Amino acid sequence: MHTNELPENVATLKTSTRGWNGVNVDLVEYSCTGRVLVRLERNQMSTRLGAQLEEVGRDHAEPRSAPHIPNPHAYKPRPMWFVPAQMELWGHAAEPSYLKCATISFNGHLLQERLGMSESLGLIDVPRLRFADDRLWTLIRLLADAIHCADPTAQLYGDSLTAAIASLLFERPKEEKGSKCGLSPIQLKDAMSYLEAKLPARVELVALAELAGLSQSHYCRAFKASTGLAPYQWQLQARVERAKDLLLNTNGGLEDIAEATGFADAVHFGRTFRKMIGATPAAWRSDMLT
């Protein structure tokens, strides 16, 4: 949206977007100078699930089905909303200073196909203009936090979060062979081979799940049951292990090793390495080689 098209009393509007797993994620931040009433038109043709992440003001903002019809549901902390495709949605706030909201937009039938969900999609056609669910809210916040992350592991991370959101939002998927007790030895071997062959590039969860013949939500549970790690955690750990090998067996500088293992730069590499290993790459290399 251009500056000259800002709604009344909206001083600045910042929008970020990213897609995972057939799901679009929009993060919108408003700085306001007075009463705000806006039509939320982005992705109106899709089903939308939204969460208010931050709010500064004298009164609580609310989603509305029409501009002059107040939300009939009482405010709850960490408010959320769910609206079917083609339904109008308005946002209203009496005296806001700052608002930060995240909305995920998706095609329910596409999710059904990609995530192996059951025939019924539960309440997909029933709007919920204000409700609270701490698990869903936390997952959406984590997804919003990952929008600007350029690290290759962010792909599997976001894919896993969207699969978890769909599993919570709709009824539980049908159980599939191999999902309760982890991956079979062949499935696990295929996963390790695929992930190692792709290192350090990004990998989509759908590719791993299809390799095992499981839905994405079931695959995440089975993978963690087998390895103790979520797929994105395993991939990140494998990249750090490859970096350790390069630190010990080559004379490469930190920038070269960061590039070889898929990190944006030496600073990002160093921060991640220290968080996982407990020492900087330079200190770890020095300690291991003395």
Residue-level pLDDT at 181: 77
What is the pLDDT tens value at each position of the chain, 290 positions in all?
Answer: 444 578 899 999 999 999 998 899 999 999 999 999 998 876 678 889 999 999 998 889 999 999 999 999 999 899 999 998 888 999 999 999 999 999 999 887 777 776 666 555 555 678 899 999 999 999 999 999 999 999 999 999 999 999 888 888 775 545 444 445 789 999 999 999 999 999 999 999 999 999 999 888 889 989 999 999 999 999 999 999 999 999 999 999 999 999 999 999 999 999 999 999 999 999 999 999 88
Q: Which domains, and CATH codes, for the chain?
A: 3-145 (2.60.120.10), 153-233 (no CATH), 236-289 (1.10.10.60)
Residue-level pLDDT at 85: 86
Q: DSSP characters for the chain?
A: --GGGPPTTEEEEEEEEEEETTEEEEEEEEEESS-EEEE--TTTTSEEEEEEEEEEESS--EEESSTTS---SPP-SS-EEEE-TT---EEEESSEEEEEEEEEEE-HHHHHHHHT--S--TTTTS-EEEE--HHHHHHHHHHHHTTT--STHHHHHHHHHHHHHHHHHSPPPPP-TTSSS---HHHHHHHHHHHHHHTTS---HHHHHHHHT--HHHHHHHHHHHHSS-HHHHHHHHHHHHHHHHHHH----HHHHHHHTT-SSHHHHHHHHHHHHSS-HHHHHHHHH-
Provide the whole-model pTM.
0.86
